[in-house]
Each structure stands twice: as structure tokens, then as C-alpha cells.
Chains A and B, each alone.
Chain A
Amino acid sequence: MADNEEFISEFLIEASENLDQLDQDLVALEKNPHDPNRLASIFRTIHTIKGTCGFFGFTKLSNLSHHGEHLLGLLRDGKFTFNEQLASLLLELVDAIRTFLSSIESTGKEGDAAFPDLCQKLDAACLSTDTPSVHETAERTAASTASTNQSNQPDNQIVSAPLAEPVASTTPNDLPEADNSTSGVSSDILSRPESTRSGNTFDSTIRVDVQLLDTIVDLVGELVLARNQLRTTATDEPALLDAVNRIHTVTGELQEVAMKTRMAPIDQLFNKFPRIVRDVASACDKKVNLHIDGSDTELDRTLIEKIRDPLTHLIRNAIDHGIESKDMRSVTGKPALGEISLRAFQESGQVTIEVSDDGAGISVDAVRKKAVEKGLVTDDVASAMSDERIFQFIFEPGFSTANAVTDISGRGVGMDVVRTNIESIGGTIDISSQRGIGTVVRVRIPLTLAIIPALIISSGGERLAIPQPYIQELVALRKNGTSHMIDGLEGAPVLRLRDRLIPVVYLDRWLGLRNWEKRPTSGTVVVVKVDNHEFGLVVDAVTTSENQHSHATETTGLWFIVVKAISSLLAPMGIYSGATVMGDGSVVLILDLRGITMAADIPALTRRAGDLQSTSEEPQDVVQESSRYLVCETHNGHRVAVPLNQVQRLENFLQSEIDATADSCFVKRNGELTQLIDPDRVLHTSEELEKETVGLSLVGIILPNELGNKALAVRRIIDVETGHGQLEKTAMKSGLLGTLLVGGSATEVMDVVAVSQWSEENPLL
């Protein structure tokens, strides 16, 4: 019996893989009914299942497969042409076989379900000579048995329910009868050698327990540490040093290979979607074509399983709510066939998966209105928010309700769950959409859960890791504290960062690491953002990699750390999400920022900081005494300042990259066009734009999103300086706020909003 169990488990693994392949084959066959290769492959699979079941004594499953095999045999011999109804019927068969297999897996027995109506339908399909009548016959026979079988086969009912209706509605789609040549070809197919089958990888792959792979990865990690110790001790003997160096190289490669064993192509997941798209589309009575791109993108195998549900949900959403009904599409002049595209690619240590549709899109205004209605945001704030930020509201729990605006109704159902799932594996999700054009949902997930980028900080003699995705910026605290004052507020310190007040937590004090009096006066504030809560963690220093042989690789202060689970003893504390082993063998804890947000009650601290901010003088005035400015030099050598809070980011580009259209200058960045504004033109310091030599580099000061895709083009950035004294509004030029003492010299301060408006009225030539 023990031997048998082993064989059965092998059979189950193989059968479930074959069934997945069957799903794909059937959907593909539906599109191309005259593909004899696929038909033969389907026949073989069902035949194998039937044979193996008979061998193990699973008679019901064997019987069911027999009915299916018979029908497939007739199909293969060209007695019928494959069509949509037969596809539905055979997919139903696949689901029924799955039900059996899962029952065998969990209980070792076939279970009670016998699917007599499915058998009858399959038989009816065999008997009928002309295809259109198959469905009717099947329905009649099914109807007679359905009432008696309903109670003991809930699985089948659920699966087949959405299929039945659309099949009826699409019956008239007669496909041409198979020509004789098809049957001639197909009869030889079984005799063809196995190697002609595409995707046959049986010879080059083996099944390995994932835990075993993880153990290998762990052991290799340990080897790396031992190697590091060896390198520091063995220095005298040249021969030994040579050997150590070789061990160093080999271990490095071994580590890389070991990590790769965890990776698997996302194809494993993507190949499930053609079937899902087909089922959902026919349930919604829509025609949808799924386009898959980048299915060879590799991802940690544990993550593949975790993104299955969120992605399925997104695809369902795209079909159900994204793609318009057939009528609507013809009214708007779109092709009847809706397009859904699923795209995966690697980008800077992350895998991006895009689900896009060419449907109706989402109305930003409707979402904005709904968000204000639900009290998620005030009207003023919402109107200043960018579209991307507005779309984020879709992920709020219960955002879309029954009385929601029709444009977005249903869109938000379950989207909060999708976001939660994605975030639980360290990923992010965002939506962009254009009315009438379509919607793109972008999911970004780490390449692997095992290795994450993080900042290693020290606080009170301890080293701790902060995962990079949460980090907004680092702010240095100076001894005299003039630049970023931390105001003590009844034990709730805040950081004054540009125009905002952010609550801060002294990590050493919060973790009870040392005597409060002994803490150094300087340090670094790591500004982090968890959901919508922004706060600062005050740490002593940020640790950079001490040597290149260490377990982690340093890139601009970031470490790639191997995440290991911490014991069930410590996980419930909720302040550490894991631990990692550093190059010297010591254990460093990874902070769970979400947990800390809760434990330190950041939301309450934020409210108090907000109260403080509203009571501080003239909070609306953009130009405060303590404001910070980006000081730069224009093409004509003019010194101007831009309020730092009006700068989204800086980008370098070359003169040659600029596209001059008839009335404006643009530069293309990330697929979007950004309009360039020359400050000299705004300030009338020169009447004509100098023709610069090609190859000269420029700096674009990207303006906030609310102002559109605009950037100020300057020659170079001088520095970030603090402005002092009163703003003198003597120079009443448009586009200027006035003149201010910035960084020790009088500087003209740009009025970014006015400049933006000016650029719309006076586009550059």
C-alpha cells in the first residue's frame, strides 16, 4: 500500500499538470479548431488519466474519463468539428476530473460525486451527428438528472453554472465542417514520436522539495560566512591564500545559483489565465482576447502562488467592469473584441505585472467625488491631488458600493483585499486610467521574498534593518539643530520638514536601548511612510557596507538582506518582521514598520502634529522664514530660487533629447512628455532662446503633478539653501514671488504656479 501511495501522489501531480495543459489546449483549440496536434494531445491526456485510474481502481473517474475519451476519439477522427459548446463541455469534464483528484488527494478515495449528467451530456454529444443539436440534447438529459443530483455534487454545479448560459446564447455560431484532410492527418498523430510535442521538458527537469532548496540556500549562506572568516585569518601563506580566493569565487557563484533555484517563470501562473478569461468573458457575454507578454519573467516560486488570487481578481475586474458590453463598444466605435493584456517584466530588482484593458476606463472625477462623499478626503485637498493619488482611493475598504456612480460601480469591490495581498508580500499597486481608452493596473512585487533591499541603521548600540520600500528620505540632524528643528511637544517630538510637521520616534528610547541622557545630539531621521502615515525614526547612524565580501551587497547605502523568519516567540511582538544574518555572522532584526505604526500610535501623534501645525503662524504662506529653496543658474547665468516644496524631483537630460514641436519644447521621460519652461523667457532676461550646442546637459526641475507635466529647464543646480528675512515684493515681474536673501545673496524667487500658467499662455518656441 505504501508503494501505491507513492505512485498515486506521482499520478496526482502529473495529472494536475496535465489538466492545466488541457485547459490551455482546449481554449487554444476553440480558436483554431483544426489543430490536429492539440486534439491529439488532449486525447492522450484523457486517455492516460483513464488508464491510470483504472489501474488504481478509481472506477468512477475512469468511467467519466472514458465518456470523455470516446467523444474526443470521434473528434479526432473528424466525425465532428470542435466548437464552443464542445469546449465548454470538455472544460466541464476537466473540472470534474479536478474534483475527483482533489478528493483523492485529501481522502485517498474518489468521493461521492459521479457526475452522471456530465456523462450523459458527453454521450449525447457523441450520439448527435450535427453539432448544433448537441447542446439541446445535453440540456434535456441534464435537466432530467440535475434535480436529483444537485444535493451531492455542489462543486460541479458551481463550476458549470456560469458556463451553461452563454453557451446557449452563442449556439448559432456554426463552424464549417471539418474537411477530410483533417481526419487523414489526425489519425497518424498518435504514432508520432514524443519529441515533436512542444514544451517537452521532462528530460531536463526534476521535482525537488522546496524545503530542500531552502535548506541549500541556508547552508550556502553559512558557507559564505565561513568563507569571510577564512579570508580575514589566512593571509600569510600564498598557497593557502590562493585556495581561499578560489573558495571565495566559487562560493559567490554557488550562492547565486542557489538563489536561482527558488526562481520559477511566471508562466506557471499566466498559463491559467486564458481559461479564466474565457470563462469570465462568456459569463459576461463579452468577447475578449487575452494577450500575454513576458511569461518567461522569473519570480520567487513562493510569490507566484501568492499573487495568483490578486491577479485573478484584477483580470476578472478588467473583463467584468473594464471591457464594455458589445453594444456599447459598437456605439463608441471600438472593435467588438475587447483586448486584455497581461504583461510581466523585471525592472530594478522588482517584477512589474501590468493588467491593462481597452475598456471604458475610470472617471477620475467620479472617484474624487466619491472619496469626498465618503469623507476620506476634504474637497480642497482632493481637488489638488493628482489622478494617481485619486485612483488610490479605489483600494480603500468598501470604497465602491451599490449606490456608487455607474462609471466605477463594482470596480472597488475586493480591491482593498487585492492591495492587502500585494502589500503583504512587500509589493505595491497603482492604477492609471483614461476615460474611453482603458485602464492599466500595475502591480510591483519584489523579485523574491527572501532578499529585500533595506537600510541598516544603528541605534543605541544595536543594528536594525528598515525595509527600503517604506523609506521616503533621510534627514541629517545637526548639533545646533537649526535646519530641522525637533520641537518637543509634551513628549511628542516632531520634525519640521519643509512645510510639514512629521511626528518622530526616537528609536533608542522607544526600544529601551539606552539611558535617555546618554544619547548623542546628532543623528539621522529616517522618514518612512506606512499607508498614509508618515513619521520619522531617529537613529544614530546609517551603516554602510564594511566590505564587499559581506553577505549583503551595497548600493548607495542600501543592503540586500536575506530575510529569515523569526521564531513564533518573537513574531507576536509585532515590531520585528524577520531577521537577517550579517557578514560577520551576527543577527540583525528587521523592523516591522506597520507594527511600529500601531504600537507607537503614529496616527495619534500625527493628529497632534497637525494641531501644532495649524496653530503655527501663517501656515498657508508658502514662503516662510525657515523655508528652503533650490538655488539654480539659468542659461543666461541668472541666479534664481525655487521653493523646495514646489520641486517634485530633478532630472538630467541632454539638449539633444529635447523635442521641439511647433509651439513647445518637450522632453520624453518614462513614456510621458514633459513640457520644458525656460526661466529666462519667463523673466524676460533674454528675448531669444540661445541655440545651445547639442550634447550640453540640462537639469529639469520637475514641478508638482498638480501643475501638469512641466519642468523648469536650468543650466545647473547650485545648492539647497535656507531663505532669510522678509520676501521683498519689489520686483513685480510676473512669475516671480519677489527677492529674498537665500544662501547669503539676494535671489529672485520663482512663483511656480504663475510660471506654470504663463507657460500655457506663452508656449516656448
Chain B
Amino acid sequence: MNSIMNTSEDGTDQKRCCTFLIENTCFAVEADCVTEVLQRGVINNVPLASPAISGLLNLRGRIVPAIDLRIFLEFPPAPHTIKHISLIVDISNEWYCFLVDKLLDVKTYAPHQVSPPTNNSSSVLTGVLPDSDQLIHFLSPEKILKNLLDIRTESLSVG
């Protein structure tokens, strides 16, 4: 993967991010943690796992947990017409699969243009960047993971 940190002509730091849509809202994660994108991918259910963990994906023999960002971000469940896209994300050498509605683009941006989130309720949101006609919401994969680890045991009492 190319170097993420570039310096533009005017001397400011440039970074790249991977943007995608969930329920017509634009989100982004830093491009350097995305290792690959899958169009299709069979996800096997994990009974009793927290709802945001939609299952396990077999990626070339590696078993990767799939996190449905739609459910995690508390959007309504996806209509059947939407075929999810799998973003494989590397978080400290463990792979995770983020399910999103649609992949948009890899954009170059200047970190100083990202403003801290206006709404502080969701800690996984690290910043907002105004783009041409929309807002890009930056997500932190590490914080998403930590959030899930904190709530992982809640559904164990079923039985």
C-alpha cells in the first residue's frame, strides 16, 4: 500500500480515507487500515452474539468476524434490495469485516480540515469533514471494536 501521508504542494499534510454509505449517510475510515473490499461474502451466523456481530466470514481460510455497521450505528435494518459490501479492516493485526451499503471512493483530505464531532454522543465518531454536497463522518475502527467488546456478554442469559 502506498504511503498514506503525502505532502501537497502548499506544504500541508494530506491523508487518504475510504468513504462509504450507510442509509444514505456518508462515513469514512482511514484508508491505511482497509486491506481489501469484497463484493460478495458468505457470512455465517453466530448464535447469541451481540446483534451488531452479524457472523463469521471465511476469507481465504482466515475466519473474520463481520460487524454490521448499520446495526452498530443504530440505523434501521437493511432492506432486502441492498447487497452489502464487506470492508476488510486490519485492527492491530486482527482482521475484521465491516458491512456497509455502498463503497464510494478513496479521498485525499487534509486532517486539519476535519472538525471534531458536533454531536458527542457517539464516541466512535472522531470527526466530520464537509465535502462538496455532504458531510463525511469519520469512524474509528479501534473504538468500534472496544465498544463491541464492552457489550459482548449481554445476551448470554438466553436459555
What is the interface of chain A, defined by CB distance below 8 A to chain B?
Answer: 218-219, 221-222, 225, 462, 505, 509-513, 564-570, 572-576, 579, 581, 585-589, 599-600
Contact = CB atoms under 8 A, between A and B. Distances in A.
B156 to A, nearest CB: 6
B64 A567 contact: yes
Nearest to A508: B47
Interface of B: 42, 44-49, 53, 55-58, 60-65, 94, 96, 145, 148-149, 152-153, 156, 158-159
Nearest to A505: B159
A587 B158 CA distance: 23
Contacts of B152: 569-570, 572-573
A604 to B, nearest CB: 12
Given A570-B46, A574-B156, A587-B44, 4 more contacts: A566-B63, A568-B94, A573-B156, A585-B58
A569 B53 contact: yes
Contact of A222 (B61, B94, B148, B159): B61
29 contacts: A218-B60, A219-B61, A462-B45, A505-B159, A509-B159, A510-B159, A511-B158, A564-B61, A565-B63, A566-B65, A567-B64, A567-B65, A567-B94, A568-B94, A569-B96, A569-B148, A570-B53, A572-B152, A573-B152, A573-B153, A585-B42, A586-B44, A587-B44, A587-B57, A587-B58, A587-B63, A588-B44, A589-B44, A599-B159
A205 to B, nearest CB: 27
A569 B144 CA distance: 11
A259 to B, nearest CB: 13
Nearest to B159: A510
Contact of B153 (A565, A568, A572): A572
Given A569-B145, A569-B152, A600-B159, A564 B63 contact: yes
Contacts, number: 86
A333 B153 CA distance: 62
Contact of A512 (B53, B94, B158): B158
Given A222-B61, A573-B153, A566 B47 contact: no
B146 to A, nearest CB: 11
A219 B56 CA distance: 18
Contacts of B153: 572-573
A567 B63 contact: yes
B95 to A, nearest CB: 8
Contacts of B62: 218, 564
Contacts of B158: 510-512
Contacts of B46: 570, 576, 589
Nearest to A512: B158
A176 to B, nearest CB: 62
By Cβ-Cβ distance, the 8 closest A-B pairs, closest first, are: A511-B47, A218-B61, A587-B44, A567-B65, A222-B61, A587-B56, A221-B61, A222-B60
Contacts of A588: 44
Contacts of A509: 159
Contacts of A462: 45, 47
A385 B55 CA distance: 46
A275 B109 CA distance: 64
Q: Could you say which of B53, B56, B96 has the most chain A C-beta atoms within 10 Å of its C-beta?
A: B56
Given A462-B47, A581-B58, A586-B42, A570 B159 contact: no
Nearest to A595: B156
A638 to B, nearest CB: 51
Given A566-B56, A573-B156, A600-B159, A511 B63 contact: no
B49 A573 contact: yes
B118 to A, nearest CB: 30
A510 B156 CA distance: 10
A565 B47 CA distance: 17
Contacts of B148: 569
A574 B62 CA distance: 21
A197 B117 CA distance: 71
Nearest to A461: B45
A553 B103 CA distance: 40
Contacts of B145: 569
Contacts of A512: 47-48, 158
A589 B58 CA distance: 12
A126 B117 CA distance: 77
Nearest to A224: B61
B47 A513 contact: yes
A581 B61 contact: yes
B46 to A, nearest CB: 6
Contact of A511 (B48, B53, B58, B60): B48
A599 B94 contact: no
B55 to A, nearest CB: 8
A512 B42 CA distance: 21
**Chain A CB within 10 Å, residue with most, of B44, B58, B61, B159:** B61
Contacts of B48: 511-512, 573, 575
A491 to B, nearest CB: 10
A510 B60 CA distance: 31
Which residue of A513, A565, A566, A573 has the most chain B CB atoms within 10 A of its CB atom? A573
A573 B47 CA distance: 10
Contacts of B156: 573-575, 599
Contacts of B60: 218-219, 222
Contacts of A513: 47
Among B55, B62, B145, the most chain A Cβ lie within 10 Å of the Cβ of: B62
Contacts of A225: 61
A576 B148 CA distance: 17
A603 B47 CA distance: 23
Nearest to B47: A511
Nearest to A220: B61
B41 to A, nearest CB: 10
B13 to A, nearest CB: 29
Nearest to A584: B42
A574 B157 CA distance: 12
Nearest to B67: A569
A174 B61 CA distance: 63
A512 B45 CA distance: 12
Contacts of A568: 94, 149
A510 B57 CA distance: 23
B61 A570 contact: no
A512 B62 CA distance: 26
A566 B47 CA distance: 14
A218 B60 CA distance: 8
Contacts of A579: 56, 63
B96 A567 contact: yes
Contacts of A600: 159
B50 to A, nearest CB: 9
Contacts of A581: 58, 61, 63
Contacts of A222: 60-61
Contacts of A572: 149, 152-153
A225 B62 CA distance: 13
Contacts of B56: 566, 570, 579, 587, 589
